[in-house]
Amino acid sequence: MSAGTGPAWLEIARRDLLIAFRRRAEAANPLVFLLIVAALFPLGVGPAPQELSRIAPGVVWVAALLASLLSTDMLFRSDFDDGSLEQIVRSPSPLYATALAKMAVHWLVSGCPISLVSPVVAGLLYLPAAAMPALLFSMLLGTVTLSLVGGIGAALTVGLRKGGLLLSLLILPLYVPVLVFGSAAVDAAAHGLPWHSELAILGGFALLAVTLAPLAAAAALRINLDS
C-alpha cells in the first residue's frame, strides 16, 4: 500500500463508522436477531438444560452466521445508490484498500459485537463455562472471515435490485467451513478436549480472506460499475 493510500481508505472507514453510529437502531439488528434466536430456540426443542447444552455450539454459530448476513447486503449498496461508489472506484486510490476498509468497518459494527455477545447467548443455552473462551476466540476469528467473504458477495450483487437472496446463495456455501470449525472448537472445549487446532484453522481462514477477499471484491466492483 502506498503512502498516499492511507488517508483515502481511513477517511472512508471514518465516514462509514459515523454513518453506522447515526443508524444505531439499524446496526443493532444483528444483535437483536441473535438474542431472539437464543430466546426462541428452547421453545422448539424443549427447555432441558442437558439437551440445550449439547446443541448450543451449533445453534450459537448458526445464529451468529445468519445475524452477520443481515447487514452484509448493505456493505456497498448505500454507496451505489447515492452514486458515490462510482467515484470511489474511479479514484486514484487502490480499490482493494477501500474494499478492505469497508469490510473492516462491517466487522467492527456487526461481527465484533456479535462475538462479544455470543457468550451471553451461549449461557442462555447452558453452554459450559469452560467452553466460553473457545467460543469467544473462535467467534472473533470466524466473524472476520464472514465479513470479508460477505464483502465479495456484496460486491458481486451490488448492482442488482433484489440481490439479497442471490447474495445468500452465493456466500452461504463459503461460510460452511467457518461454521464447521467454529462449532467444532466450541464443542471440543465443552467436552474438555483440545480446541486450539480448530482455532488455528480459523486463523488461517481469516489470513487467507484478508489477503484475497479485498482483491476479489475490488474486481467485482469494477465489473459491476463498468458493465
- Dig out the grid coordinates for 40 from the structure: 426462541
Q: How far is CA 168 from the centre of its chain?
A: 13
Instruction: Report pLDDT digits (tens) over 12-21.
Output: 888 888 888 8
Task: Give the Cα separation of 152 and 94 in Å (integer).
Answer: 16
Instruction: Give the rounded distance of the alpha carbon of 8 from its chain centre.
Output: 23
Give the torsion sign (CA, 23, 24, 25, 29): positive
121 touches 62 (CB < 8 A)? no
Place of cell 459491476: 224
Q: Is 26 or 69 the better-scoring residue by pLDDT?
A: 69
pLDDT for 148 beyond 70 = yes
Find the mean pLDDT for residues 111-131: 92
pLDDT band at 7 (very low <50, low <70, confident <90, very high): low
pLDDT digits (tens, 9 = 90+) for 167-226: 888 899 999 999 999 999 999 999 999 999 999 999 999 999 999 999 999 999 888 877
Nearest CA to 182 out of 124, 122, 129 is that of 122
Distances (CA, A) of 26 to 32, 44, 110, 154: 10, 28, 10, 18
Q: Which residue in 175, 202, 178, 198 sits closest to 188, CA to CA? A: 198
